[in-house]
């Protein structure tokens, strides 16, 4: 015997409604599907928006830095495709043997493994710095939470961490793509493991457990130069001319120490604005030595696969693969242009003749448009004589003849000379000059009579 209640309920839900003549239960199901889909789209949008607003190279809780949005997955993939096509052209021009680079990579990996086994054999610390356990770094970074990400790139992801003693550190978790983590780990440890310089980021220690390779650095809490030059800083940039020169001088000092103060010397190979970290007093610190190369005293250059960031790589290195400190000098010249102009080395949003910073810069100098070169976001323009000195220095750094480029030590002296005020008062005329002037006037009067 049927239940009358169930029959009535079934009849109620099967009744036709005025909405397209559909039955009530179909309308209910369609409404639920639409609501669920809308909710999913909202969640997806919020998640995408949150990831786009993640700051590069700084703890977003500070709220004091200009926003520099990370790119979406599609944009990153397009950029990678473009970079690969550009670098393929470079490799073909340079004629560099990729197989030799692969052999070099495998050799470095085996050397790194033996070095690590020697340095971590039952020791809590080594000559390279303190040894951290994976557990310790997991706790410091809250299990490598996305909320603590302060930078990411092809080399890996950098997290902000707080150690048990309360000190704040930056933890770089190297991506192990075909042994690349092992290679970059060895390079960075050897390049700056024992280096202490106020304009170089200090390596505090490392972690090597299994295939995991992590590096622990001092934490710099004011972001990087790229953010302050190209981020949303408002109508007036906080980077005054004096601050920009302070950043340029500090960066030059750090690179000069790598080139001239170490043995073997270190060629950074990736000098760019995003690798210049800044503290609260605008003191710069050069970071990210994953692409660095060591150059022994008997070598003037090394031949290697062309690496670096498009727009900063010197033409001679791109065409031959021959690397020396002159390549860092070229990159520094581009960086110096970027500092004084506020323009990116390559900007596809600009008109065709202005996309490449170096070409645009040379054209502006050639047409004597010095006053139009400086960043319009600077509230007070620099003195004309100061800007002319910097323009000349930029052109010397990017000279196509690598042998004519100045050394980093010379660049430091050139920049420091601009720190002192120029004499603007008129030079007093000496007695002999006064006498000569009077004689000249007297002779002219006699001829006139």
Residue 243 has pLDDT above 90, yes or no: yes
pLDDT at 54: 44
Decide which of 38 and 375 is more confident: 375
Residue 44 CA: distances (Å) to CA of 30, 67, 70: 21, 21, 17
Name the superfamily (CATH) of residues 225-417: Transferase(Phosphotransferase) domain 1 (1.10.510.10)
For the chain, what percent of residues have pLDDT higher than 90? 47
Delimit the domains of the chain by residue range. 96-218, 225-417
Q: What whole-number distance in Å separates Cα of residue 144 and Cα of residue 158?
A: 9
**pLDDT per position as a tens digit, 339-369:** 999 999 999 999 988 999 999 999 999 999 9
Does residue 179 surpass a pLDDT of 70? no
Nearest to 226 by CA among 349, 145, 339: 339
pLDDT at residue 183, as a whole number: 74
Q: At 201, list the tokens.
A: 């980021």
Residue 191's pLDDT band (cuts 50, 70, 90): confident
Q: What is the pLDDT of residues 4-13, one digit of tens each?
A: 545 555 566 6
Confidence category of residue 370, pLDDT binned at 50, 70, 90: confident
Which sequence positions are flagged as catalytic? 270
Which residue would you say has higher pLDDT here, 372 or 41? 372
> At residue 377, does pLDDT exceed 50?
yes
Q: Which residue has the higher pLDDT, 13 or 332?
A: 332
Q: Is the pTM of this model over 0.85?
A: no
Q: Which two tokens stand for residue 162?
A: 């707080």
Mean pLDDT of 160-182: 85
197-212 pLDDT per residue, tens: 999 999 999 998 888 8
Determine the topology of domain 96-218 in CATH.
Phosphorylase Kinase; domain 1 (3.30.200)
In this model, does residue 96 exceed pLDDT 50?
Answer: no
């Amino acid at each position: 015997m049927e239940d009358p209640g169930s029959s009535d309920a079934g009849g109620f839900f099967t009744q036709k409604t005025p909405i397209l003549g559909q039955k009530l239960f179909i309308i209910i199901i369609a409404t639920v599907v639409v609501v669920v889909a809308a909710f999913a789209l909202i969640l997806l949008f919020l998640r995408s928006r949150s990831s786009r607003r993640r700051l590069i190279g700084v703890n977003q809780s500070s709220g004091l830095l200009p926003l520099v949005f990370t790119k979406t997955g599609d944009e990153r993939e397009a950029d990678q495709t473009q970079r690969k096509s550009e670098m393929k052209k470079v490799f073909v021009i340079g004629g560099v043997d990729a197989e030799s680079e692969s052999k070099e990579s495998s050799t470095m990996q085996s050397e790194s493994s033996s070095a690590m086994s020697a340095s971590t054999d039952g020791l809590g610390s080594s000559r390279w710095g303190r040894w951290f356990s994976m557990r310790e770094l997991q706790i410091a970074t809250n299990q490598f939470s996305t909320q603590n990400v302060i930078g990411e790139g092809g080399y890996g992801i950098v997290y902000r961490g707080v150690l048990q003693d309360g000190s704040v550190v930056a933890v770089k978790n190297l991506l192990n793509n075909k042994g690349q983590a092992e290679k970059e780990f060895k390079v960075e440890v050897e390049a700056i493991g024992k280096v202490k310089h106020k304009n170089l980021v200090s390596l505090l220690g490392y972690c090597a457990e299994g295939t995991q390779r992590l590096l622990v650095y001092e934490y710099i809490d004011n972001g990087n130069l790229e953010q302050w030059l190209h981020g949303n800083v408002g109508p007036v940039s906080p980077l005054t001319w004096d601050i920009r020169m302070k950043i340029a001088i500090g960066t030059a000092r750090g690179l000069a120490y790598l080139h001239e103060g170490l043995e073997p010397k270190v060629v950074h190979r990736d000098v760019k604005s995003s690798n210049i970290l800044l503290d609260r007093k605008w003191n710069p610190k050069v970071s990210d030595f994953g692409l660095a190369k060591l150059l022994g005293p008997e070598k003037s250059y090394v031949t290697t696969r062309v690496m670096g960031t498009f727009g900063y790589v010197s033409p001679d290195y791109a065409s031959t693969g021959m690397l020396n400190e002159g390549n860092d000098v070229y990159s520094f010249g581009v960086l110096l242009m970027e500092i004084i102009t506020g323009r990116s080395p390559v900007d596809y949003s600009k008109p065709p003749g202005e996309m490449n910073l170096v070409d645009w810069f040379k054209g502006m100098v050639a047409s004597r448009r010095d006053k139009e070169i400086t960043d319009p976001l600077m509230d007070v323009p620099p003195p004309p004589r100061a800007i002319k000195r910097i323009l000349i220095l930029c052109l010397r750094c990017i000279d196509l003849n690598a042998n004519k480029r100045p050394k980093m030590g010379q660049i430091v002296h050139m920049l420091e000379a601009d720190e002192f005020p120029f004499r603007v008062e008129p030079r007093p005329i000496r007695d002999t000059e006064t006498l000569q002037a009077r004689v000249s006037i007297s002779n002219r009067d006699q001829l006139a009579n």
